[in-house]
Structure 1
Amino acid sequence: MKTSLRRGRVFRLLASGAGAALLLSACMGGTTDDGKDAAVGYDPKANVEITWWTGQTEEQEKVAEQLAAEYHTAHPNVTIKVSPGAPTTDDLLTKLSAGFTAGSYPDVSYAYGNWAGDLGASGKTQDLTSYVNDPSFKWNEIPEAARLVATANGKVIGIPALVDNLALIYNKKLFDQAGLAYPTDNWSWDDFRAAAKKLTNTATKTYGTAFSVSGSEDTTWHLWPMLWQHGGKILDGTKPAFNSDAGVAALETLRQMAVDDKSMYLDQTDEKYGPLFNSGHVAMMLSGPWSLLDIKTAKLSYGVVNLPGYNGDHQTVSGPDLWVLFNHDDVNRAGASRDFVTWLTSAETDPKWNLAIGNLPLRSTEKDSPEFKKYVEEYPGGDKFFANLANAKQARPTAPGYEELSRNVGDAIAKVLQGQAQPKEALDEAAKKSADSIGS
């Protein structure tokens, strides 16, 4: 999900992910997960080569190669083969699933968080549960939502590579021109709706806010915090539960803005609302820290506050990505890959990675680092996104089949916001379509 900072966070993955998920399910019969720790007997002095699929763009790939070289200098017996792994991050799941079938897959790979269920079900991942819960790893320094996403079927299969969240970014100039007070951390969705309506100007083609109607995960995950704020759940066990009264109320709020008020720009592609915000044609954007690079380039005067809330609940959603570790029945490869990723995600090394490429710090202890201070100076509002991680109290499901559920919900949201269906009927239809796929 960034491209700007991190592939634009446009979630193109769902188009390619459907076929990949089928490939994964096909190879589940050949599981190698026998319940044993893959690194028992690891010799840290053994000569070993591990493969790292970074899933990054060319510029970020250079940073990864520098870090791999730094690790090798300190551990000359460990050689790290670094590559993006696939032409784009979105292609990694397809590449991994094909590699499982062929027996040629990496030791460490970048993965979107909502692939965790399918990757965990493949039987090819290491079980890191005991490893990360050792006090020396300091697992609790990583936000809870990210830790939950790294857990599939009760097992930790990877270590978070990146953390983020959604907040409200607003254009100060447009608020000033409309004579409106700036948003605050205490805004309700009614406050947001009222401001969006006043900020919409058909003469200048300016909208109060925007929403993706592509049906992708970018469409779906914007609904989840509103669902949670209303007290709803995505799943009840393995049963879809998003079509509850809470889900209907959340989607009705969006429908009112899109259909009744016409204060919401509907983006068919996921790729237009960011540039429209940066050009001054969208006043408020529900987005994440990856947007700050493009906003900086546009030289906008902007602010960042919590998501609007319901009854004082300002929960957000986080879209953490992972370094997933795979088992090759070689204890030294397993142990070396663990040691490398532990080093990569440590409070000492992470600033050289995430902060260097414009992402939030991974660990809470990085807030006092000079690198974070520099990051906030370069990207104002980055500290607000970092603080907002405390509002990411729940995580998207890591059950197999989440991708199909997400597509169904995304399609339902798109229909409602385009005036083609009502919230209840659309969400009921999505739940019915998803009932057989989730958890299987």
Structure 2
Amino acid sequence: MMVLSLAACGGGSKSTTDTSAAADGAKSGDGGKITVAIWDNGQKPGLQQIIDDFTKATGYQVDLQVITWDQYWTLLEAGASGGDMPDVFWMHSNESQKYMENGILMDLTDKIKSSDKLEMDKFPKEIKSIYEYDGKTYAIPKDVDTIALWYNKKMFDEAGLAYPDDTWTWDDYYNAAVKLTKPDGSQFGTAMNPSNNQDGWYNIVYSMGGKVISDDMKKSGMDDPNTLKAMEYVDKLRKDAMPDATVMSETGTDVLLQSGKIAMLPQGSWMVAPFKDNEYIAENCDIAVLPKDATTGKRVSLYNGLGWAANAKTKNPEAAWKLIEWFSTKENQESRHSLVLQWLHTRAFQISGRTAQISSTFRHI
């Protein structure tokens, strides 16, 4: 079962780019130059290569700017209010509705229909729907992300516990988390990002048959008996096997895993690259699928996806559209795959001895 997430994602990896400098550059370009704004510095090299090819093919000059996640939406909103936004930028499910409703994004509907380079039927319809409003399309999906379970093999070995596998239920997860929690507070069984529900309790709620929101998206699902059951489980897990919420929020759950403070962490595919480059995780950790619920038998991993959008008031609408179209072709999707994820060149990765195929529609990593 796959459930479309309305939660935030992509904030786990911090950019090292100077935000003020990027903000100064992330404005609509003049003449034949367009500006592009993203928030993940890890993706800049791969995107820059694709942009360089675009410039060679079209003659359009492109300035790629990275703005940290913490500042991205503040600066984008300020730019929208002041009439000075970047030409092309990443859009997110959390923010897309207000930007579409207020006419801030370029309407791409007719451009998509007339394009002979795009294969829109290859993108998941749930992801496409995030960027559709009133029968029109305002962004093209850039990627798809999902959630898996990272665990510390060394801690499991020291506790004499078997590694997580696809037979695990959330009961197994709780029991292991408690056993992996040390009374002196030096180690905890797990953690949960307080500010990102996509890699947190949403997965548990839907796995246990609950709902965060009704199917028609008109009312809350928090009074559903199964949702209440799931939240009781989360509360028990929080009390018995997690660090204090302040620690998780201020330190960051990814840092807790990287520093050997927690044994397990549900985390998004956007963290694969930074985790892969972390020496401690590379030596001590592995990945498994999320647990399933013992009663429903459901294993749920929420997914989400970013989109390429353009400023409705860009001074260079043709160049902005051509770049979005260029990013979204099968060829350049596959090119970005090889550039950003060279170490996953087989388009598959090992999850506890089981091979999991990943769609060629890009993961948000």
- The alignment's TM-score, normalised by the length of structure 1, stands at 0.64
Residues 150 and 385 from structure 1, CA distance in 2 versus in 1: closer, same or farther, beyond 3 angstroms?
Answer: farther
Deviation per CA, 1:168-195: give whole Å up to 9, x if none: 1111122222222211123211111111
Q: CA deviation at 1:144?
A: 4.3
Distance 2:86 2:201 in 1: 34
Q: CA deviation at 1:155?
A: 3.4
State, as a whole percentage, how many aligned pairs show the same letter: 23
What is the letter of the counterpart of residue 92 of structure 1?
A: Y
Residues 132 and 265 from structure 1, CA distance in 2 versus in 1: closer, same or farther, beyond 3 angstroms?
Answer: farther
Which of 250, 273, 278 is the aligned partner of 2:230? 250
Residues 102 and 54 from structure 1, CA distance in 2 versus in 1: closer, same or farther, beyond 3 angstroms?
Answer: closer
Distance 2:10 2:145 in 1: 11
Find the counterpart in structure 1 of residue 244 from structure 2: 266
Q: CA deviation at 1:256?
A: 1.3
Distance 1:67 1:183 in 2: 39
Q: CA deviation at 1:108?
A: 1.1
Q: CA deviation at 1:71?
A: 0.4
Find the counterpart in structure 2 of residue 14 from structure 1: none
Deviation per CA, 1:97-125: give whole Å up to 9, x if none: 33333322233112333111121112122
Matches within 5 A, 1:319-398: 319-328=304-313, 333-353=316-336, 356-357=339-340, 372-373=344-345, 387=357
Distance 1:3 1:141 in 2: 26
Contact 1:212 1:270 (8 Å CA) reproduced: no
Deviation per CA, 1:332-368: give whole Å up to 9, x if none: x43432332222133322344355345xxxxxxxxxx
Find the counterpart in structure 1 of residue 211 from structure 2: 233
Residues 3 and 125 from structure 1, CA distance in 2 versus in 1: closer, same or farther, beyond 3 angstroms?
Answer: closer
Q: CA deviation at 1:60?
A: 4.2
Distance 1:161 1:384 in 2: 27
Contact 2:347 2:357 (8 Å CA) reproduced: no
Q: CA deviation at 1:252?
A: 1.0
Distance 2:202 2:97 in 1: 18
Contact 1:113 1:321 (8 Å CA) reproduced: yes
Contact 2:142 2:305 (8 Å CA) reproduced: yes
Flag structure 1 segments of 5+ consecutive residues without an equivalent: 9-46, 359-369, 391-440
Residues 130 and 386 from structure 1, CA distance in 2 versus in 1: closer, same or farther, beyond 3 angstroms?
Answer: farther
Deviation per CA, 1:295-319: give whole Å up to 9, x if none: 5422333222222122221121124
Q: CA deviation at 1:285?
A: 0.5
Contact 2:119 2:330 (8 Å CA) reproduced: no
Distance 1:356 1:383 in 2: 25
- The alignment's TM-score, normalised by the length of structure 2, stands at 0.76
Residues 209 and 388 from structure 1, CA distance in 2 versus in 1: closer, same or farther, beyond 3 angstroms?
Answer: farther
Find the counterpart in structure 2 of residue 306 from structure 1: 289
Distance 2:289 2:130 in 1: 22
What is the letter of the counterpart of residue 236 of structure 2?
A: Q
What is the letter of the counterpart of residue 345 of structure 2?
A: K
Find the counterpart in structure 2 of residue 172 from structure 1: 153
Distance 2:57 2:353 in 1: 32
Find the counterpart in structure 1 of residue 27 from structure 2: none
Matches within 5 A, 1:46-195: 49=32, 51-56=34-39, 60-76=43-59, 78-84=60-66, 87-129=67-109, 131-132=111-112, 137-195=118-176
Other structure's SS at 1:109 match? strand
Distance 2:352 2:222 in 1: 31
Find the counterpart in structure 1 of residue 4 from structure 2: none
What is the letter of the counterpart of residue 313 of structure 1?
A: K
Contact 1:54 1:61 (8 Å CA) reproduced: no
Other structure's SS at 2:171 match? helix
Q: CA deviation at 1:131?
A: 4.9
Task: Kindly indicate whether residue 14 of structure 2 is the aligned counterpart of residue 7 of structure 1.
Answer: yes
Find the counterpart in structure 2 of residue 206 from structure 1: 187
What is the letter of the counterpart of residue 52 of structure 1?
A: T
Distance 1:159 1:384 in 2: 32
Distance 2:266 2:107 in 1: 35
Deviation per CA, 1:270-302: give whole Å up to 9, x if none: 643222222333111110233332354223332
Count of matched residue pairs: 328
What is the letter of the counterpart of residue 281 of structure 1?
A: K
Other structure's SS at 1:117 match? helix
Distance 2:91 2:118 in 1: 21
**By percentage of residues, which structure has more helix?**
1
Contact 2:213 2:221 (8 Å CA) reproduced: yes
Contact 1:206 1:281 (8 Å CA) reproduced: yes
Other structure's SS at 1:82 match? strand
Q: CA deviation at 1:135?
A: 8.0
What is the letter of the counterpart of residue 289 of structure 2?
A: N
